[in-house]
Structure 1
Amino acid sequence: MTDTPLETTAALAPARAAVDAVVRRLADVLSSGPVCCGPLDGEIADVVIAEPGEPLDGAAGALVLAVGARETEAAAMVTAAGAVGAVAVAVRIVGDELPDAVGAAAEEAGVAVLGLPLGLRWDRAEAEIRAALAAPADTFAPGRDLFSLAQTVATLTQGVVSVEDGAHRVVAYAGSGDEADELRRRSILGRSCPEPYLALLRRLGVYQRVRAGEEVVMVAEQPELGARRRLVIGINAGRRPLGTIWVQEGDRPLAERAPELLRGAARIAATQLVDHYFQGDARARLASREELSHGLLTGRFDAAALAAHLGIDPAAEADVIAVDLREQGDATAVRADARRAEAAGVMSVHAAAHRDNALVVHACGQLYAILPTPAEEAPLVRWAEELVTTLRRLTGTPVQAVVAGRAERLADIPSVKLRGHRALQLLGRTPEVAVGTHARLAPALLVRDTLELLDQAPRLRFPAVAALADRDRTQGTELARSLLLYLDGFGDVGAVAKQLNVHPNTLRYRIRRAVALTGLDLDDPEHRLAAMLQLRLDLRERDAAAFPGALSTAGAARSLS
């Protein structure tokens, strides 16, 4: 198998964004914003990196990063950029103002100039600008563009990441610039992998191996080429090679699960590179895929038609995992959206690594993984526990997940999703529990749903027991709560007395008093069941500990731990 010639590889179609969207993106990074002059209403089609004296051919419609240009050189580059039809130029500044010569050149050339402070590295600036190109300010794209994917992989693997197309051109990258080796820096500045390293890879048969399947290949350190140890995986669509993902080892060893995570990232990247090559605008298809996946989850569209578009058998079974980040109350909407977008990217990589054709969808403030080719519950719980551990570390929130169960066919996914949503509500009562399953929580959900039905039907009551709860409220006694815990505890006086922090004789007196006031027959199972439902209905708002969501969920949690 030979390398794909440069001239036969379709060029990646650029995204577009207004200059003011780029300025807003950089403002978020700088907590202030770049110093600007010139027209800010143009539309950027690409980013071009250039040094003083370098020809700006191909910079029409682009934002030019004037790397290494000092004041006089920067002014000359602004003039040259205007002459070829560039939209904007980014230059390095010292202080808070653009040099007068640069401002004058911008005015005459009719291009916008962004002054970037010394604290913002060029690679970070380019990454943020490309992120603005991939996701304009009025579009919510939860971490699905290649730069966001690269950033997710860098975070999870603890490495420095590059995504290359089939012609070895760098199309996205992420990770600490301080940890990048000389090969990485040359690849970014030159927009392609240096030829000596490519020749080495050919001799080692690396490309032949990564194009044969999903093998993750380790390339040893090459000090003479300025290259640290790397992992690489191919991005393939069937037998067609689309590109590669590289992870360079930085100051820390790569994460133990880096190869597995790379396989997930390659599956996601394949869809995006196919869009680049064949669809013209990757964002259009990605947004459509996200919307259609949401429709599959919520039942808004026909499952068979959606499955055909997404490349999934409509008769296939699928597991559904529901995740809630448990955002804190003081989080702003923007911060919550950003955190959810980051979590969706992380979850997508984990899901794709675990199951081919996995989908991750945001709905109802929660995230859902749809995993075709079902597995047994125990491996799913372990996978969910690993995911929650990662998300808790990255988001700093008490993330929880529920293995919602299996949809026997894709049309059943909305009902399984609803089960997961309701189970997450219940699991929220025990924040110390990371992962629950619908099978474990089903009894508590049944009781909760029953109480909701009873609440809507006032005629269905156990009047004598309801009167007991009213008596407690007016007289400040604890007969109703003591009776409920006694029934829950199968009459274990010692354990229930300890829970209530009273003497066992005190509990016995309360139970005898409750029976006398209500006429309850503790030997009758229907009396006991009716009393438990009525007491839960009356006490759930006054005492959350008596509500079955707390009691049953805690029991389920203990059995999972």
Structure 2
Amino acid sequence: MSHSADYSKTSRDTLDSPEGLADRIAEILECPITIEDANHRIISYSKHDKNVDEARIATIMRRSVPEDVITSLWESGVMSRLFESNDPVFVPAIEKVGLGNRIAVSVHKHHDVLGFIWAQTNDTTITNEKMSLMKDAAKLVKNQLHQHHLKKKQSEESYQEFFWQLLVGHLQQPGEISQQAKRFGLAFGNSLCIAMIEFGCDITPTIEKHAYYLIETLYQPYAVCRIFNENQLIMLVNLESTPNPNNKLKTLIQDFIQKLTARLNIGHVKGGFGLTYDSPENMKDSYRQAMKVLELKEQLPDSLQHVYGYHELGIYQFLQDLNAIRNRDNYRNDAIERLRAYDKKNGSALVKTLHAYLDCDSNVHNAAKQIHVHTNTLNYRLKRITDIGEIDLKDTNQKITLYLDLLIEKIND
């Protein structure tokens, strides 16, 4: 009897029932089966005996695969193979996350992964026949997963216009926002903000697919809405019941960028987020703030390398406004101009030295280390700076003004 003949006995009622289909596949393969969507949420699972591993129990209880299991499957290379191939993959046990031996196969439609079938094979000998039967099973569940995929896609497309209206401030009435949110099944909490990921390249279908995958599998409790716009991923994030929301969101963004860049081997990805508010009508403000973080990170990559939140910007929040005032008044800092003229004539680096000294909060040792000179050399240059620039480095007002003007010059470079 051919492999397909094993499934040909499957009735139409079983095909239309996710649970019945999982049971039928389990019966043929003689092992417990789990059918998941592309984001590792359970579509159905078969009946099983008591001898099942911790990962299967946790998945069934949560209705989705635990984060540590997903991370381990990526680290072991299993997920990469499943995304790239239609063929079944043998998955050796990963004891640290309670995962026993598996056979897994992805369900594809054209170039899209619709979901996965997982067979726990701890008590089963894996044969070539079972591998072939897994491939046949993927064909059998394709239609159900495709319908699930279409419904989810339609739901996402329906709320995108609503999300944009929040971002640009076209929706300001709480009652209308609440009504729209209810219509699209969106749950807003009391700790909301906008987070953004910006790519240094065009967003390809592969980047979009993996970004959505990460959001759905690892960050689903937080990401309420998401949308791509040109080279940016914009998310409305709910941090309700999170003890330290700013720290949590910073960690999530760092983790998201690390995972995405590692899996796709891309660089120049940065992230930022705005302030947290207790109502969705303030998302226009959080969106503007998140964009400012990304803009300043582009202009000052070294200074803001470890900054993600608008609240972390400090005086950098005001540089663009100060720059506009300086331009309006045709202002120039005479002390800096004198130092720059001296540098140009003598090939020195007094302006650079002053910036490092101020950037390091007047710490001579740290500043010397930053520009790779000896402390004696830096002290000598500081004396030249005070003489040539006519600067009093003990005057706090002068130092703050000099530092701000040097930063403004950098965003104009």
Q: How high is the TM-score relative to the length of structure 1?
A: 0.45
Counterpart for residue 472 of structure 1: 343
With over 3 angstroms needed to count, the CA separation of the structure-2 counterparts of 1:518 and 1:353, relative to structure 1, is closer
Q: 1:346 corresponds to which residue? A: 213
- CA pair 379-476 structure 1, distance change in 2 beyond 3 A: same
Task: Name the residue aligned to 1:361.
Answer: 227
Q: Distance in 2 between matches of 1:401 and 1:372?
A: 17
On the 8 A contact 1:351/1:369 being kept in 2, the answer is: no
For residues 410 and 367 of structure 1, what CA distance do their matches in structure 2 show? 18
* Contact 2:293–2:310 (Cα < 8 Å) also in 1: no
Contact 1:400 1:434 in 2 (8 A): no
Matched letter for residue 166 of structure 2: L
1:202-240 CA deviation, whole Å, 9 max, x = no partner?
Answer: xx9x99xxxxx9999786599xxxxxx89658989xxxx
| Contact residue 323 and residue 400 of structure 1 kept, 8 A | yes
Distance 1:434 1:384, change over 3 A: farther
What is the deviation of 1:536? 3.1
**Residues 455 and 350 of structure 1: CA distance in aligned 2, closer, same or farther (over 3 Å):** farther
Does the CA contact (< 8 Å) of 1:401 and 1:434 recur in 2? no
User: Superposed, which structure 2 residues align to 1:421-440 within 5 Å?
Assistant: 421-427=291-297, 430=301, 436-438=307-309
Aligned residues: 315
Separation (CA, whole Å) in 1 of partners of 2:360 and 2:306: 25
Select which of 505, 514, 522 maps to 2:385.
514
In the alignment, is the contact (CA less than 8 A) between 2:188 and 2:238 conserved in 1?
no
Asked if residue 321 in structure 1 is aligned to residue 195 in structure 2, the reply is yes
Deviations 1:357-385 (A, max 9, x none): 72122235211222235222333334334
- Larger gyration radius, structure 1 or structure 2: 1
Following the alignment from structure 2 to structure 1, what is the Cα–Cα distance between the partners of residues 378 and 306?
35
Hey, what does 2:370 align to over in structure 1? 499
1: distance between equivalents of 2:285 and 2:206? 27
Question: Matches of 2:369 and 2:305 in 1, distance apart?
Answer: 28
Give the partner amino acid of 1:299.
G
Are the equivalent residues in 1 in contact too, given 2:191–2:279 (CA < 8 A)? yes
Q: Cα deviation per residue 1:174-214 (whole Å; 9 max; x = unaligned)?
A: xxxxxxxxxxxxx9xxxx5565858999xx9x99xxxxx99
Match of 1:393 among 262, 274, 297: 262
C-alpha RMSD of matched pairs (Å): 5.0
Aligned pair 1:484/2:334, yes or no? no
Query: Structure 1 regions of 5+ residues with no counterpart?
Result: 1-49, 55-163, 170-186, 208-212, 223-228, 237-246, 259-264, 267-272, 328-332, 543-561
SS state of the match for residue 354, structure 1? coil
Matches within 5 A, 1:146-545: 167-168=17-18, 195=24, 197=26, 250-253=89-92, 285-302=155-172, 304=174, 305-311=176-182, 312=186, 316-327=190-201, 333=202, 336-350=203-217, 353-355=220-222, 358-363=224-229, 365-374=231-240, 375=242, 376-377=244-245, 378-398=247-267, 399-427=269-297, 430=301, 436-438=307-309, 441-443=312-314, 445-446=316-317, 448-538=319-409
> Letter of the aligned partner of 2:236 in structure 1?
I
For residues 470-506 of structure 1, give each alpha carbon's deviation from its aligned partner in whole angstroms, at most 9, with x where no partner exists: 4423443222222222233343334333433334443
Cα 1:490–1:285 change in 2 (3 A) is: closer
Tell me the distance in 2 between the aligned counterparts of 1:325 and 1:358: 21
In the TM superposition, what is the alpha-carbon distance from 1:403 to its structure 2 partner?
4.4
Conservation of the 8 A alpha-carbon contact between 1:466 and 1:534: no
Q: Displacement, 1:324?
A: 2.3
Deviation at 1:412, TM superposition (A): 0.9
Q: Which amino acid aligns with 2:382?
A: I
